[in-house]
Amino acid sequence: MDMGRERLTRGLLLRLGILLTAVCVCVHVYLETEWQGAPAAQALGRPTQSNQNWGQRSRTKHVSAEAEEQDRSVKRRISYVRTLKKDSPARKRDEDREDPSPPCCPPPRPHRKTPRWHIDLEPWASESHSLEDEAKRFLHYITTPQVSCESLTGEEAAQQGAKGAWTACLDPKYSLAHRIRSKRCRVYSFGLGVDDRSLEGSLARAGCEVHCFDPSLKQPHLQQAEMWLHRLSVDWRDPNPAFAAQRQYVNTKKLATILNDFGHRQVDVLKADMESAEWKILENLVLEGVLDSVGQLLLELHLHWAGFEVGGDDPSVVRYWFSLLKELQRANFHLFHVHSDPAKPHLFLHKNVLNASSAYTLSWVNTEWKP
């Protein structure tokens, strides 16, 4: 009995010793693991809490570094663009000094200037603001050519031995003669009804691309001999879109709109007989800067009344006319031909003033035009 009890006690003690030994081994292993820290944890593939915090901080720093690098890249691009804008004139001057040879291709010129709202009126001809003084200055201006030109007249006038009303300048100092030789010239002719188109025919046979605009045509577009005919006319304003949408064809447009619709940038010769609408049309060409697209301007002026939508007393009307023609001169247009029909009545704003004719055909050449 005593022997059995002793064996039981020894078994319990042995088991307790084994258990304590196992606990000590576990504690030792745990302490060794904590002592080694991160490397042991990484070797086992299970990151500790401190390692997770370190990885999170590392990713945050990496994202922040990428964001900062992207911001610096954007700033560099913005700075580069601004530097180009600021330094382009100076850089261009430096390049011009380094390489005096001209570039192969000229830089494109802007097609339109910034539109203006009104023309600049010239000072009065005298302090009295009288019609006679204004008319004297105006008539002297339109009857005094400013440059001389070798001219091309219409076939009918040439057959009659006369210089003719409609004349184009073929002087080699200007571009039309060279454009005709290279078969690159373009002519716009605006008129109402059947008009003298002998000049247009001569230019077409010389190799020019000729477009005649007449709102009285029955067909929208028609090719006749060497010329194109269009059922269209020029105006100082575009039609109201509400009315234009109700009509299949619009008969009047501004010259800038016509050029855009036809895909043309320049017109070597612009001829217009607009029956007293010429003053407002000319004003539109000046205000919108369309004159830069025209090489020569052939225009019939009607002086028996003020013209469409031209208001004011008679001296103010003549001052307005004169101011418009001075705007032409400031745009480098110089008068080279004047013609007055002796068969026309001598009426100047419904009066006989200085025996002036009621209509004059004038021709200008743009002396600085480089198409």
295 falls within a domain: yes
Contact 271/200 with Cβ under 8 angstroms?
Answer: yes
Residue 29: predicted pLDDT = 75
16 falls within a domain: no
Residue 45: predicted pLDDT = 41
293 falls within a domain: yes
Neighbours of 363 (CB within 10 A): 25
- Say if strands 267-272 and 294-302 run parallel, antiparallel, or are unpaired: parallel
The structure tokens listed for 158 are 């040439």
Range of the domain at 269: 131-366
Residue 169: predicted pLDDT = 95
pTM exceeding 0.75: no
Quote the DSSP letter at residue 269. E
Number of domains in the chain: 1
Residue 67: predicted pLDDT = 53
Neighbours of 237 (CB within 10 A): 13
pLDDT tens-place values along the chain, 371 residues long: 556 667 677 778 888 888 888 888 888 777 776 655 444 344 334 444 444 444 545 454 454 555 555 555 544 443 333 333 344 444 445 445 444 444 444 444 444 567 788 999 999 999 999 999 999 999 999 999 999 998 887 654 444 434 578 999 999 999 999 999 999 999 999 987 666 889 999 999 999 999 999 988 888 899 987 899 999 999 998 887 665 545 556 689 999 999 999 999 999 999 999 989 999 999 999 999 999 999 999 999 999 999 999 999 999 999 999 999 999 999 999 999 999 988 899 999 999 999 999 999 999 999 998 88
CA dist 258 and 273 (Å) reads 17
| 86 Cα distance to chain centroid | 23
12 falls within a domain: no
Which CATH number covers residue 349?
A: 3.40.50
286 falls within a domain: yes
Quote the DSSP letter at residue 263. T
Residue 9: predicted pLDDT = 79
Q: What is the 3-state secondary structure (H, E, C) of 209-234?
A: EEEEECCCCCCCEEEECCEEEECCEE
159 falls within a domain: yes
Beta-bridge partner residues of 190? 213, 272
CA dist 354 and 337 (Å) reads 21
Residue 196: predicted pLDDT = 81
CA dist 43 and 17 (Å) reads 33
71 falls within a domain: no
Amino acid letter, 41: A
Helix (H, G, I), strand (E, B) or coil at 285: helix
1 falls within a domain: no
Share of the chain residues as helix, strand and coil, in percent rounded to the nearest 5: 45, 15, 40
- Say if strands 294-302 and 186-190 run parallel, antiparallel, or are unpaired: unpaired
The structure tokens listed for 349 are 């704003």
Sign of CA pseudo-dihedral 192, 193, 199, 204: positive
Contact 221/231 with Cβ under 8 angstroms?
Answer: yes
